[in-house]
A and B are shown apart, each in its own frame.
Chain A
Amino acid sequence: MRDLSVEYLTARGPVQAVNGVSFQVRQGEVFGLAGESGSGKSTIAHAILRILHPPALITGGAVRFGDRDVLAMSEGELEEFRWKSISIVFQSAMNALNPVMHIRDQISDVLLTHGFPRSEVQERARALFDLVGIDPRRLDSYPHQLSGGMRQRAVIAIALSLSPPLMIMDEPTTALDVVVQKDILQQIANLKEKLGFSILFITHDLSLLVEFSNYLAIMYAGHILEKAPAHELFERPLNPYTVGLMNSFPSISGEKRRLTGIAGAPPDLVAPPKGCPFHPRCPRAMAICSEVMPAIQQVSPGHEVACHLY
């Protein structure tokens, strides 16, 4: 993905939701995209699948999948591309299921639409449920008969149904309890090892991402401010926003220390601050920060940061 920009046309003027964002997800890797609400992380997920609806508009950049140009695809090509190449698990996945259909029919629906042979559909559905750790007898349940965690697993089963090489997960476990969350993530990690797909993992929970992903990008107000291998970012955060985020998560172990978080609140994207969007909250802001948005540049192998300090 290169220089992607997305605008929302609102009554109060255009909102630059994603601003020149570039990153790559490699095969078999978990790429984490972290940001607060309004940072543009979910908009990116929607842009990749071309499921943005007006008033959202892709205003620039390129999205490539392998050697294919996603932005140039026709509706017909997109239908083929979605789910077969990239599937998505939404934040409200628990509610993404149709309440009046058996889960079995919802899985078969996806398989049949994408040309799966009818004779193999039932077996595939059972295999998928096995894979995500639900008793295949549960296929004949309605969604409301399953717990939140099981529904989320069912949605993951549907996302895996066509064995896509890339799965986008947009806050997949935010609505779940921690024990269930950990169970599901562990299972996803195991499946990834077994099946070899890649994951674009989107969440606001940085401690989860550091644990779960190989590579990590920090977004703020539509910009990527820092990108690095997950452990490098955790041990050596450079951008003051990343440092602030790391300072926003109390730990359950180790010495108890006072954490400060970040003063102020994320900006209004209709009238974003000039220069770097983080400068009004930044403890190390300089004169130039309110004038010019710094370009993202490499500071050490694999570690890129957009900040005038570096």
Chain B
Amino acid sequence: MKISLKQTLVIAVAAITANFGAISTSYAEAAKYRVAYIARAQGDSFAAWLANAIVKETARYPDLSVTVFDGQSRNDLIESHIENAVQNKFDLIIIQPFDPAIQIDPVKRAMAKKMKVIATNPKFSDDSIPSVDANPYQQGAENAKLALTQVPQNAQVVVLLGPAGNPHSMGRREAWQKEFFDKRKDVKIIDEKIANWNKDEGMQLTEDWIQSHPKIDAVISMNDNMAAGAIEAIKGSGAKTYPLIYGVDGTAEACLLIKDGKMTSTTLQNANTLAEKSLKLAHEMLTGDPKEFHDTIQAELITKDNVDKYIDLHKQLGDIK
């Protein structure tokens, strides 16, 4: 029997679909409770770390199964995932919102249909939605307090921001304002721009700033990726010394840069702890009555003095080989 190319393609697609379906079903049927984890974007390195940590943490709860859905930084897709989770009768949704102001409505609609929901990193402004979150203000404040003593008098600084309207970027920036800029009136912000959490955008902006501002004393970045981009730009300019550079997230790359003396500090937003607390709350909500519906993880300041501990953590996670 001769099979055409079109038929072969159809068979291949059907086989792949059936196979994935089987994996998903058998995994789900083994557990009593089914949890849908909706990640903000699997392409975002922190979100991917959190999603991987959630899956890993699930192994501690034999009565739970978790299915991960990728939101791809798209509000419409995240809304569809929420609706599908309700339709497919999941027992609980853990959502990492992309834009909390937009996702709050579909989440409330799901809750109205008796769906249990937990928000993580970031939480919603509505306290009726249980949450496990890091505190963006504290993440920025830890670095800002350190900078108070490090940034020289009459310093010129540049600021790298996350996406417009992002609550974590705004929370961190607010902390820098209150804990540093309001207290150090001598420091001048020579430029402040959005680099969308991206390393290449942080790099390009810093390359341009180096051309127009020969003296930059500090780079204040709302995350580590953009700070690492600034470091690549400074390295490329042939500079012998590096300005003070602050980030947030505690990524493997930032830890290595701190160890090398190229970056000043960062604060760890520990995805493992977020995952641990999120799954604990989920399990309590499914099996009993939890006492607390909101939990916050503490930001840990990483400097050259304690960076080895965090490099070990990233080695355990497989981020540093």
The answer to whether A and B interact is no
Query: B residues bordering A, Cβ < 8 Å?
Result: none
